Structure 1
């Protein structure tokens, strides 16, 4: 067994993505520039047509410098999109001792003894803890087969899906089965979900709910919740329920 296994997007895929975005950006901007200049050149030839100054300037710009500039601007835009994609891409490092989820500028370390298993849910990687809590839920474009191999090779359970999916209920304000503080946090989180610039707030509120033993997942702006088996956290029926996953092999 290898000491650790790293699952990341291969370099050729990143290079291919970058080349695709650069070419697409350059082509889109150059094509748009050509079309606008074509219209501008036509407008200045129409007798009696009042032509705004910006249109006259566009028609008078020299070639091939306009096309070269448009290609450069489009290529630069493609590079920016590529950098954003690489910044958001997830790298997963799996070993007997820990599971590390890394993006450029941030890293989350999960102790191996705390990990029960993991699965992919759509485009998200979910890591479950020993008490049925979610240790991590991260956007992930990595191939599920590679993740399953890495987790399984190091003794973690790779699951076909969420073993607790049937326990999720849709949240409505004032739900009495939740810890007292949870409703206020879920209300704040619902408002944050409506704000596209509040992604950090959404994540932080999820973490606060996790500390209360509340697991939450989203369907657009709708929130669904269940309780974990953390010590002291009780189900709606008042009893702490046993977990369903065996301990790490």
Structure 2
């Protein structure tokens, strides 16, 4: 069995793709050790600051210097482990069977039937599912091995493409771009502000993507620049 792949019984034909256990353990250990090192350095810095006749933040430094030596590295390690939990919570888990695709990330679950997915592909570090109307069903950050993901989709009969079949239709967004549905430019403007301020993982950026999809607009990001295309919706927005 390949690393990071959990296979159910043949009757279930269930494949679960997630980060390998060894990689998750390495993340925890790295963050815990880094946290301990930072805690140790903070203790040394505090001890040095309190010896100076004057220095900024001497009050906090005195408080930190009064803490017994082992506790700051321990606190740093705990903080590192908490960051590890956050990182694990944000990892994408893919559950595949012959009749559905299920994506789990940040406590959010999305499920798509086999018939709803026209094609799936990787766009850089993102997994994208496209519906039969050309609209994107989802676009998720995915650090899983591309070959493993492609093989698992093919094994369960889900259509997989090596590239975006609509790549040539994307155009870079500029304010008041022509050809967009009414209201889309305003949403893209708001989304651009959130994208520049918070980055592509921000909730507002994601929510505005979904609002644009209701108008028949697909949007993707490259270096905090927005690219768009339209699609003909098969049902009401």
| Residue 146 of structure 2 corresponds to residue 141 of structure 1 | no
Give the distance between the partners of 1:135 and 1:187, measured in 2 at CA.
Answer: 22
Task: Find the counterpart in structure 2 of residue 5 from structure 1.
Answer: 15
User: Once the 2 structures are TM-superposed, how far is the Cα of residue 107 of structure 1 from its aligned partner?
Assistant: 0.3
Contact persistence 1:8–1:142 (CA under 8 A):
yes
Count of residue pairs the alignment pairs up: 224
- CA drift at 1:100: 0.7
Distance in 2 (CA, whole Å) between partners of 1:114 and 1:56 is: 59
Scaled by the length of structure 2, the TM-score of the pair is 0.83
With normalisation by structure 1, the TM-score equals: 0.80
Q: Classify 1:155/1:24 alpha carbon distance in 2 versus 1 (closer, same or farther; 3 Å).
A: same
* 1:26 corresponds to 2:26: no
Aligned to 1:238: none
Q: CA deviation at 1:113?
A: 0.4
Contact 1:40–1:55 (CA under 8 A) maintained in structure 2: no
Unaligned runs of 5+ in 1: 44-48, 234-249
Cα 1:60–1:216 change in 2 (3 A) is closer
Residues 1:122 and 2:127 are matched in the alignment: no
1:223 equivalent in structure 2: 226
Q: Cα 1:118–1:56, aligned 2, differ >3 Å: closer, same or farther?
A: closer
Alpha-carbon distance in structure 2 between the residues aligned to 1:109 and 1:55: 50
Determine helix, strand or coil for the equivalent of 1:202: helix
Which residue matches 1:237? none
Q: Which of the pair has more CA radius of gyration?
A: 1
Give, in whole Å, the separation in 2 of the partners of 1:59 and 1:81: 22
The aligned residue for residue 17 of structure 1 is 27
Superposition pairs of residues 1-249 of structure 1, within 5 angstroms: 3-38=13-48, 40-41=50-51, 43=52, 49=53, 54=59, 57=62, 61=66, 65-66=68-69, 68-196=70-198, 199-231=202-234
Q: How far is the alpha carbon of 1:27 from its aligned partner?
A: 1.2
Q: CA deviation at 1:153?
A: 0.5
Give the whole-Å Cα distance in 2 for the aligned partners of 1:155 and 1:55: 60
Moved more, 107-116 or 171-180: 171-180
- Give RMSD over aligned pairs: 2.7
Larger RCO of the pair (alpha carbons < 8 Å, separation 6+): 1
CA distance in 2, matches of 1:220, 1:134: 20
Q: Give the Cα–Cα distance (whole angstroms) in 1 for the partners of residues 45 and 61 of structure 2.
A: 15
